[in-house]
Every structure is written in structure tokens, then in C-alpha cells.
Amino acid sequence: MPRLSARLALAQETSAYSRVDPPCRYFGSCGGCSLQDLRYEDQLALKRQRLERLFSELDQPIPPIAIEGLDDPWRYRNRAEFTFGWQEDRLALGYHAAGSFSRIVDLEDCHLLPQAAMRVVREVHHLARESGLPPYHPKTHQGFFRFLLIRYSQMTGQVMLCVITTGGHREIIEALAHSVASRHPAVVGVSWGVSERLADVALPDSVSVVYGTDVLEDQIGPFRLQIKARSFLQPTNQLADRLYTALGEALASASAGVAWDLYCGLGLVTLYLSRTMRKVYGIDSEAEYVESARRHAQLNGVTNVEFRAGRVEEVLRDRRFWLEEAKPDVIVVDPPRAGLHAEALSGLLAARPKVLAYVSCNPQSLVRDLRELLRSFPRYRLRHVQAFDLFPQTNHMEALSVLDRVG
């Protein structure tokens, strides 16, 4: 029912736009993309209007909002997460059906993934069926095959896979891995993740490499990266470079100072800011990401950066260090969809940076947090808002906002 009302709301919101034929035959049944029947220019206009509407709730004049999209809004994704399931009595591999918790749409193709990656997905689908082992069912908790994670390097064309199953049958996964790699030389590594979790999430309890490597060589802008199967990376490298470059440009007024990159993930914002700032500190709660961020700094010869593992709201409690030794001129935050923890927000306010940038994949939580920030400290002025359509054909977007302290 909520799904139906969401569809009706979308139809109403987009009633002024003319419709085009969606190229994907699963449009409407697959829960993936819902904007495919709008021209790409209209998708961009819709997302910009949504952002303008949300920002108009702030008690401040808002700067003009621009949105940057992709030159080609198809086959742009560098990663995807597929789910195994049943379709009638056959093993299916695809995405969740619209509005369904357990039904999987068996996909021959996904127009968001490059053809080379899709060929590998079809091969795994075929081999999993051939194995005779059943897919997992999220209601009965019976079955073997659970998820397939795929990463594709837009720079090198390399592919890396992680097959997630319940336990046992290592020999089946090893045979599958060698078979897929022998037919698709772009596959540089296959990992096997085992998950006995009842929750329907692609989060393995343990991971081991069954073929090749667990590191994909990639690049965003000038920076070399080594990506693991589950690392967070923006979904398309070309526009990610534009986002981080625009962020660096918007912070140029505070260059040569100290910056914090909060929720730093693999350290990309840190690397981009290291080019103009004297020192950059990155913080992330995932120890594995922080390790990757350190490796990325080393790999790229960047020395004026330092990373800490821990939750932002906890790490910033050491006020003596953060407000004296590492006192920032600039803070960049890029939290997960839920937005900022109240204690993280108070840490930012205590630091009172000259410039504060907030990058977000969820404009609702972004505007909610900005409202709270401006209420507690009204001396910030919104200087720059820009959107990046990193997710064409879907309702998602990435937004960048920059505030200056005026007193």
C-alpha cells in the first residue's frame, strides 16, 4: 500500500513532464529505477526542484542551485548488489521486486551496469543454477546462495566478485569462481562471504578469497585506489571526481589551513583537500576503511594527512586535541543517510570552522541538520548548494552545501 501511494505521489509530482518509453523491460516490476520513463533533462530538473523546495524550508536566502548530471546516464555504475531467490521453482538472480521483501525479479540485464559486468553476472547466474544448490529464502531461512556483489573498474575494466552464501560447499564456490574467471579474464578476484544472519543484508560474517585477489585497482581523478568488495565508493567515478573537485573549489577561501574530513570512508575527500590544505584529519568508524584511507595516502604520495578510526561523536570528545592542536579552518561532513548524530553536531559547533561543507546522499537529513545547526549557531551563511546526479534513473542524488561563518 505505501508503495502504491509512493507511486501515485511520483506520478502527480511528474505530471507536467512528457513520458518516454523506458528501455528496461523490468521497469515497474523491479524495485530499482523509478524515473526511467522521464527524459534525462527532466529527471535533472525534477531533482533540482526537489532540492530547492527542501532548502526553501531554511530560514535563509538560498543561492541558485545547479545540478550536474552524467553525459551518458546509462550503464554508469561501478558496483551492484544482486540477490538470489526463487522464481517459481528456479533459482533467480536480480533485485527485489517493487514493494516486496522476498520476491526477486530474475534479471537478464540491468541497464545501470556496464555490459562487461552484466555478462559476468549472467555467467554466475548460470553456474549457480547448474550447481543444483538452492537459493536462500528470507522467510524460511533455508537455502544456500544469498547475494552477489560485483565491482567494475571504469578505469581498468577489471571485475571483482563476492558471492555470499550460507555455510558449507566451499568446493562449489571454488569451482564457480575458477569457471567464471576462465571464461571472463576481466575477473581479477572472487571472494566467498558466509552469512548465517537472519536479516536480509549482504553483510558476511567471514570472507575468504577463492580466486585471485580481494583488491580491485581503480582510480578517481588523479588518485589511485585499491577497492575491496564491500568498500564504500560513489557509484560512478567520473562524476565523483567532479563532486570532490567542486568541493575543493568551494573551500578554496580557507586553503592552507587545517581541515577535518568527517565520515571519511576510503579517504577521497581527504586526498582532494590535501592538495590545498596544510593538514587534513580523516575520521571514520570502520577500521578497515581507515586502513584503506592510510594505504591510499601512501599509494598517492600524500603525507599531510592523518586518519583516526572511531565514531565521530566519540572521537571528537577529546576536545583538548581537536580544539587546540587540530583546530580546523574547514570541516567537511559526509555522513550516512541518517545524517549527523546530535553529539557530532555539537562537536562541529564547538570547533566553529570558518567554512563548513556538508555532502549528503539524503537531502532530507541534510536540510534537517542544517536547520538545527543554523538554529544553534545563526552566524553561518549558506553560500553554495550544488547537486550531482550520481544515480540517474533513480530518485537519489548527492548534494553539496557550503556555509561560511560570518562572525
Ligand X SMILES: C[S@@+](CC[C@H](N)C(=O)[O-])C[C@H]1O[C@@H](n2cnc3c(N)ncnc32)[C@H](O)[C@@H]1O
Nearer to ligand X, 40 or 244 (CB): 244
Among 22, 28, 138, 336, binds ligand X (CB under 6 A): 336
Shortest distance, position 7 Cβ to ligand X, whole Å: 28
Shortest distance, position 42 Cβ to ligand X, whole Å: 27
Shortest distance, position 395 Cβ to ligand X, whole Å: 17
Nearest to residue 225, comparing CAs of 163, 170, 155? 155
Give the integer Cα–Cα distance in Å for 389 and 225. 22
Nearer to ligand X, 97 or 400 (CB): 400
Q: Max CA-CA distance within the chain?
A: 68
Among 268, 273, 330, 400, binds ligand X (CB under 6 A): 268
Give the integer Cα–Cα distance in Å for 210 and 173. 8
Span near ligand X by CB under 6 A; candidates 83-91, 170-178, 222-230, 307-315: 307-315
**Is residue 311 within the footprint of ligand X (CB under 6 A)?**
yes
Among 91, 120, 172, 312, binds ligand X (CB under 6 A): 312
Residues 164-183 that bind ligand X (CB under 6 A): none
Q: How far is CA 82 from CA 129, 183, 185, in A?
A: 15, 20, 21
Nearer to ligand X, 37 or 218 (CB): 218
Give the integer Cα–Cα distance in Å for 95 and 118. 13
Shortest distance, position 18 Cβ to ligand X, whole Å: 34
Q: What is the DSSP string of 138-168?
A: TTT---SEEEEEEEE-TTT--EEEEEEESS-
Shortest distance, position 196 Cβ to ligand X, whole Å: 23
**Is residue 334 within the footprint of ligand X (CB under 6 A)?**
yes
CB–CB of 128/204 below 8 Å? Answer: no
Shortest distance, position 295 Cβ to ligand X, whole Å: 14
Span near ligand X by CB under 6 A; candidates 59-67, 173-181, 257-265, 398-406: 257-265
Nearer to ligand X, 85 or 282 (CB): 282
CB–CB of 176/127 below 8 Å? Answer: yes
Q: How far is CA 251 from CA 130, 293, 378, in A?
A: 54, 21, 20
Residues 269-298 that bind ligand X (CB under 6 A): 269, 283-286, 289
Span near ligand X by CB under 6 A; candidates 19-27, 148-156, 191-199, 311-319: 311-319
Q: Mark residues 206-245: x for contact with ligand X by CB under 6 A, - for none.
A: --------------------------x-------------
Shortest distance, position 265 Cβ to ligand X, whole Å: 3
Give the integer Cα–Cα distance in Å for 120 and 126. 10
Q: What is the DSSP string of 355-395?
A: EEEEEES-HHHHHHHHHHHHHH-TTEEEEEEEEE-SSTTSS
Q: Where are the alpha helices (DSSP H) in 169-211?
A: 170-183
Nearer to ligand X, 134 or 310 (CB): 310
Shortest distance, position 52 Cβ to ligand X, whole Å: 23
CA 209 to chain centre: 24
Nearest to residue 390, comparing CAs of 33, 152, 73, 49? 73
Nearer to ligand X, 173 or 266 (CB): 266
Give the integer Cα–Cα distance in Å for 253 and 11. 43
Among 143, 265, 339, 347, binds ligand X (CB under 6 A): 265
Q: Which three cell numbers stand for residue 295?
A: 594505504
Span near ligand X by CB under 6 A; candidates 33-41, 51-59, 108-116, 333-341: 333-341
Beta bridge partner(s), residue 80? 150
Binding site for ligand X (CB under 6 A): 232, 263-266, 268-269, 283-286, 289, 311-313, 334-336, 341
